[in-house]
């Protein structure tokens, strides 16, 4: 069997310590805070919400020292080094700009914004202010992703021709919820599809063409989409996302000399299999680190802490320009589907 490269990511517990402020104490903020506190030495020291009671309840649950009944008070806290923006997609631009204007570094939940234009506003503001900004595309910082990165860099697969990825779920239909409400930037592509489009960018870079088909929910948001992204060389990414059915959450990369298959869920800590060009098994790797599912968000937090300590203003593994490019593809796919809320 082939010997796979070792992931180069150090233990998240060894990362420098930053003081975090959570802006928007919802479900994803809960899981991020748990991952941070379980697996790193970093701490959430403050939380802000439009509801003082909600902020206080989050603080009490997670051992956070200070809670605020406004986002302005949170970003103004001098003891906060970096703000984690965890509000609905539709609010990301406003809240990221608020934190940046206060001189804070920002980690913004994926997608960075509801459209590429809004994402560019965040990028421009962060660069002008000289603060660190990053989309919370935590898949990029997982150990398995670094193994794939090394295999691509050393040419183990030969010329890459086909990339695949899927991510689908079946949440209850509630027209007022963030997943189904166009006013909250709902839809499959912005919530789940951002993972599969980002995966294609990671492997192939920016596409030359976008083909999209799918369907819309009664509210007008996309509830299912299939995309074909093609490069100038003819390599293609075949991607799917849906809010109408649970899907395997698998991904693969096929080249002239071999194939990588990511196990489920490809977007979280899992594993991978390497095959030769004729399909024979060559190597298997499964995540041994005990940080399952959203506990894997500890890797992105640790990476951000290292980057900030080193004086960087964006991630060398996932540039801000690429983040904007990913949203531009999603914008185009949503336009082709006729989805509501596309700028």
Task: Look at the block and give the residue holding tokens 């799917």.
Answer: 240
Rounded CA separation 247/68 (Å) = 39
Question: Is 104 in the active site?
Answer: no
Query: Among the options 110, 120, 178, 291, which is catalytic?
Result: 110
Rounded CA separation 70/66 (Å) = 12
Token duo for residue 191 = 């919530």
CA nearest 252: which of 241, 243, 240, 263?
A: 263
Determine if the peptide bond prior to 111 is cis (ω within 30°): yes
Phi first, then psi, for residue 176 (nearest 5°) are -90, -10
Rounded CA separation 263/105 (Å) = 33
Query: Count of CB atoms within 10 A of residue 23's CB?
Result: 29
Question: Distance of CA 33 to CAs 86, 135, 293, Å?
Answer: 11, 16, 14
Residues annotated as part of the active site: 110
């Amino acid at each position: 069997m082939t010997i796979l490269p070792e992931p180069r990511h150090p233990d998240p517990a060894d990362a420098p310590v930053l003081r975090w402020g959570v802006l928007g104490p919802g479900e994803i903020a809960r899981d991020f805070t748990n991952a941070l506190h379980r697996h790193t030495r970093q701490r959430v020291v403050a939380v802000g919400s439009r509801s003082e009671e909600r902020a206080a309840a989050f603080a009490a649950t997670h051992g956070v020292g200070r809670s605020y009944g406004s986002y302005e008070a949170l970003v103004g806290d001098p003891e906060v080094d970096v703000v984690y923006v965890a509000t609905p997609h539709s609010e990301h631009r406003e809240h990221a700009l608020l934190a940046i204007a206060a001189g804070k570094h920002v980690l913004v939940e994926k997608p960075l914004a509801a459209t590429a234009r809004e994402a560019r506003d965040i990028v421009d503001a962060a660069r002008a202010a000289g603060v660190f900004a990053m989309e919370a595309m935590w898949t990029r910082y997982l150990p398995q992703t670094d193994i794939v990165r090394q295999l691509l860099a050393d040419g183990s697969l030969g010329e890459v021709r086909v990339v695949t990825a899927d991510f689908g779920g079946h949440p209850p239909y509630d027209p007022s919820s963030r997943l189904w409400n166009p006013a909250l930037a709902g839809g499959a592509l912005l919530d789940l599809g951002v993972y599969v489009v980002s995966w294609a960018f990671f492997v192939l870079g920016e596409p030359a063409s976008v083909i999209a088909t799918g369907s819309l929910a009664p509210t007008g948001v996309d509830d299912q989409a299939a995309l074909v992204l093609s490069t100038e060389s003819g390599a293609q990414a075949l991607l799917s996302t849906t809010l109408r059915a649970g899907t395997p959450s698998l991904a693969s990369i096929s080249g002239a000399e071999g194939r990588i298959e990511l196990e489920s869920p490809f977007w979280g800590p899992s594993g991978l299999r390497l095959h030769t060009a004729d399909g024979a098994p060559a190597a298997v790797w499964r995540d041994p680190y005990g940080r399952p599912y959203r506990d894997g968000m500890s890797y992105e937090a640790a990476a951000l802490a290292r980057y900030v300590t080193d004086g960087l203003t964006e991630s060398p593994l996932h540039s801000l320009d690429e983040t904007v490019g990913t949203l531009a593809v999603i914008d185009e796919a949503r336009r082709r589907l006729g989805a509501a809320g596309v700028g």
